[in-house]
Structure 1
Amino acid sequence: NLAVALAERGLRVLLLDCDVDAPDAHQLLGVKLGEEREVHSFLPEIEQSTCVFCGKCAKACRAHALIQVGEKTPILFPDLCSGCEACLLVCPTGAVKRSHKVMGWTYQASRGRIDLVSGRLKLGEAESAVVVRAVRKRAKELLEKNVYDVALVDTAPGAHCDVLRALYGAKYALTVTEPTPFGAHDLELILKLLDVMQIPAGVVLNRSNITERRDLIMGICERHGVRLVAEIPLDRAMVDCYIRGEPVVLCSPEAPGARALKELSSRVLEVLEL
């Protein structure tokens, strides 16, 4: 919705959906994802004729994806492999060969002045960081070909390593929370991370009318010296628009949530001096 609100103001927007475990930006934009590309990760392949059963590859594997049992070829557990290539580096005989596995996919789509790059992690895989990096790499290709006024990155919830990777290079971060103890807990974590990364931030209070605990969020804002830049209430129009797969700022522009999102876009323009 923020991307659409900025595009409605005449800006060219590049939108990255880095929530690769549950990507949904395309659904809210009402577009179909296309131009699928596979995302690969390194996977070792042990050449039996060259292996001397030294076990160095298994000792180097911090994910315990390789196990050495006696004088036998190491056993590989592909689902545990993180693709770090340590086994390839330590093998003294070159018995570890390069192979790969599919970790997920990246996609592209467009709507008006918005170009979307999205990623999806393959079901059952755990290393979502690989797909996040692929989304950023594909977005970089678009940045080299086109001129954009702003790039927006939608991260996964929380303050884990995938969020860290998605935030690299950001000039400003909008932290979205809600007036609940759970929301306050996560807000504290992400603001600490942003302090370490030295990225200026503002707070958006989503579903601001679901409780009366606004004070929880304001206290955290004061402690970290950040502004509450927007309050977005939950209203029926937003739910209806989401069900239809349309941005609320277009399908119900006079709804309270839509007006709040438009005000947020104005503040983003002020902060970024656009």
Structure 2
Amino acid sequence: MQVAIASGKGGVGKSTITASLLYLLKDDYSFVAVDADAEAPNLGLLLGVTEWEEEREHIGAKIARINTESCVRCGICYERCPYGCIYIDDEGNYVVNELTCEGCNVCGLVCPVAGTITLEEVRSGVIRKATTKYGFPLISAQLDVGRPESGKLVTEEKEWAAKLMKELNLEHMIVDSAAGIGCQVIASLGGADVAILIAEPTPASLSDVQRAYKVVQHFREPAYLIINKADINPGFTGLEEWAEKEGIPILGRIPYDRAVPESMSMLKPVVEAFPEAKASKAIVEIAEVIKREILG
């Protein structure tokens, strides 16, 4: 089974909860974990990963290059670039800013001198693998600064994870999605068997988790909800009302607990660092529900 954990909004505790669930499930199931936030991966940090066993470069982005020797300095590319990424250097040459170039090739199409402006493939980022100290493998990715294709990185992560499942005879793939509803999240939810949504009781989180749920609905996946920091906004019932209306089962509620940020500074899941904390006890109960209702 492939389980995707998403939130729609950043900062609601998705990765910290995911780390704790992985810790609690590791003794009963075999699985590979995937950190599908290529722009800001941190699941490895929460699992104490300090070294990566293998890294693979992802080549796919394209940027424009201007041949200064054949360039006639007409300035048409500078005028027509839709992203404003062409500038004039100290020597009067037209140069492409690699961090902002989108590889659209408008400059190459308008250039009057054939072959002066070309598109070149460059690295978008790296995909890496580690075996956590808990025994299960983790696949992560890191997008390079200013590069597109975060969704393709996540897709390659999941392909690598799927191969590991076959090679190691693993039962499940658990994917920690990025925030938002962009390419990374779409790639995370695509192909999943079930989605676990995490939200906190605030209007902003409700709005964003509703948007994430629309992506889940697009893929026709069953969804479940975890309410984190459940006691920070007494009287707010928007999440429960929305879940009831949509028929989304609530797996559990986790109270706000200062033990969570403290465990993060220790690079450990809270259920390992502080098993008696109130948040840890709530996550343990949720893990039992996941075992019973989802993983079987």
Instruction: Check conservation: 1:13, 1:150, Cα contact below 8 A.
Output: yes
Amino acid at match of 2:126: W
2:202 is aligned to 180
Q: CA 1:42/1:124 → structure 2, altered by over 3 Å: closer, same or farther?
A: closer
2:38 is aligned to 20
1:29 is aligned to 47
Amino acid at match of 2:121: H
1:4 is aligned to 23
1:228 is aligned to 250
Q: CA 1:148/1:125 → structure 2, altered by over 3 Å: closer, same or farther?
A: same
How far did 1:30 drift? Answer: 1.1
Distance 2:178 2:170 in 1: 23
- Structure 1, unmatched stretches of 5+, are 49-60, 67-73
Distance 1:86 1:144 in 2: 44
Distance 2:84 2:163 in 1: 35
Distance 1:199 1:84 in 2: 35
2:162 is aligned to 140
- Secondary structure of 2:214's counterpart equals helix
- Secondary structure of 2:259's counterpart equals helix
Distance 2:208 2:193 in 1: 21
Does residue 103 (structure 1) correspond to residue 121 (structure 2)? The answer is: no
Residue pairs, 1:26-175, within 5 angstroms: 26-34=44-52, 35-40=54-59, 41-43=61-63, 78-80=98-100, 99-111=120-132, 112-175=134-197
Distance 2:106 2:219 in 1: 28
Distance 2:117 2:99 in 1: 18
- TM-score in terms of structure 2 length: 0.75
- TM-score in terms of structure 1 length: 0.80
Q: CA 1:137/1:47 → structure 2, altered by over 3 Å: closer, same or farther?
A: farther
1:55 is aligned to none
- Secondary structure of 1:8's counterpart equals coil
How far did 1:126 drift? Answer: 4.2
2:13 is aligned to none
- Secondary structure of 2:237's counterpart equals helix
- Secondary structure of 1:118's counterpart equals strand
Instruction: Check conservation: 1:249, 1:258, Cα contact below 8 A.
Output: yes
Q: CA 1:84/1:205 → structure 2, altered by over 3 Å: closer, same or farther?
A: farther
- Secondary structure of 2:216's counterpart equals helix
Q: CA 1:151/1:131 → structure 2, altered by over 3 Å: closer, same or farther?
A: same
1:235-260 CA-partner distances (Å, limit 9, x unpaired): 12222111100111112112111122
Instruction: Check conservation: 1:33, 1:107, Cα contact below 8 A.
Output: no
- Secondary structure of 1:265's counterpart equals helix
Q: CA 1:144/1:96 → structure 2, altered by over 3 Å: closer, same or farther?
A: farther
1:172-223 CA-partner distances (Å, limit 9, x unpaired): 1010100011111011111122122101000111111211144010111022
How far did 1:3 drift? Answer: 0.9
Distance 1:127 1:62 in 2: 19
Structure number with higher relative contact order (C-alpha < 8 Å, ≥ 6 residues apart): 2
Q: CA 1:162/1:147 → structure 2, altered by over 3 Å: closer, same or farther?
A: same
How far did 1:107 drift? Answer: 1.5
Q: Provide the aligned length of Structure 1 versus Structure 2.
A: 267
Instruction: Check conservation: 2:129, 2:138, Cα contact below 8 A.
Output: yes
* CA RMSD, 1 decimal: 3.5
Query: Which has the higher mean CA deviation after the structures are superposed, 199-208 or 121-130?
Result: 121-130
Distance 2:117 2:228 in 1: 50
- Structure 2, unmatched stretches of 5+, are 1-19, 69-80, 87-93, 109-113
2:76 is aligned to none
